[in-house]
Amino acid sequence: MFKKSYNYFNSEQGRRVVQIEAKSGNLQIITADFDESLCDWDSLSEKELIDKALEWQYRTYMQGKFVNEAVEITEAKAKEVAELADKLKDTVKESEAELKKLKERSELSQSSIVEMTEMVYDHEARIAALESGDEEDEPTEEKVDEPIEEDKEHIDTEVTIEGGE
C-alpha cells in the first residue's frame, strides 16, 4: 500500500527527501515529501507513517493556504499604503501652495509694518520738533503774517453788551 522512494531536491538546501505515496489501486491518495533528517522513517510503523504523512500534508497545504492569504493581505495593504502615499503627496502639494501664499502675505505684511514703523518714527520726530519749537526742520509749517480778510472784519468790530445792572 505504501511506496517509499528517495529523491534529491535540486534546491538551495540540497537536502535528501523521502517521498511516501499511499495508493489504493490506481488511485493515488496522498503524496508527501519529508526531510529525511526529521526522523528514522524505516523504524516507523505503518500507522505512524500515515499519521506523519497526513500531518505533513495538512501542514504543507495549510501553510500554502496561509501563505496565499498572507500574500493577498500584503498586496491589499500595499495597495492601501500606495493610495495613502498618493493622498499624502497631494496634501503636501496643497500645503506647499498654501505655505507659498502665506509667505507672500507675510512679506506684504512685513513691508507694511516696516512702512508703518517708518511713518510712526517720522510722526514722532515731527511732534518732538514742534514741542521743542524747532520750526526750521519743518518746511510744511506756514507762517501767518497777516490776518485773513474775514478775520479783519471780526477784529475791527466792537462788541457792546447792554442790559444787566
User: What are 93's three cell numbers?
Assistant: 502639494
Going by pLDDT thresholds of 50, 70 and 90, the confidence category of residue 133 is confident
The predicted model gives 61-69 an average pLDDT of 72
The predicted model gives 58-81 an average pLDDT of 79
Q: Which residue has the higher pLDDT, 47 or 75?
A: 75
Q: Cα separation of 54 and 16, whole Å?
A: 20
| CA of residue 53 relative to chain centroid, distance | 52
Going by pLDDT thresholds of 50, 70 and 90, the confidence category of residue 10 is very low
CA dihedral 26, 27, 31, 36 (to 10 degrees): -40
Q: Cα separation of 61 and 67, whole Å?
A: 10
Going by pLDDT thresholds of 50, 70 and 90, the confidence category of residue 154 is low
Paired residues of 7 in beta bridges: 17
Is residue 14 pLDDT above 50, yes or no? Answer: no
The pLDDT mean for the chain works out to 70
Going by pLDDT thresholds of 50, 70 and 90, the confidence category of residue 140 is low
**Percent of the chain residues topping a pLDDT of 70:** 47
Which of 24-28, 107-111, 137-141 is least confident? 137-141
Q: What are the CA-CA distances from residue 110 to residues 96, 98, 99, 101 (Å)?
A: 20, 18, 16, 14
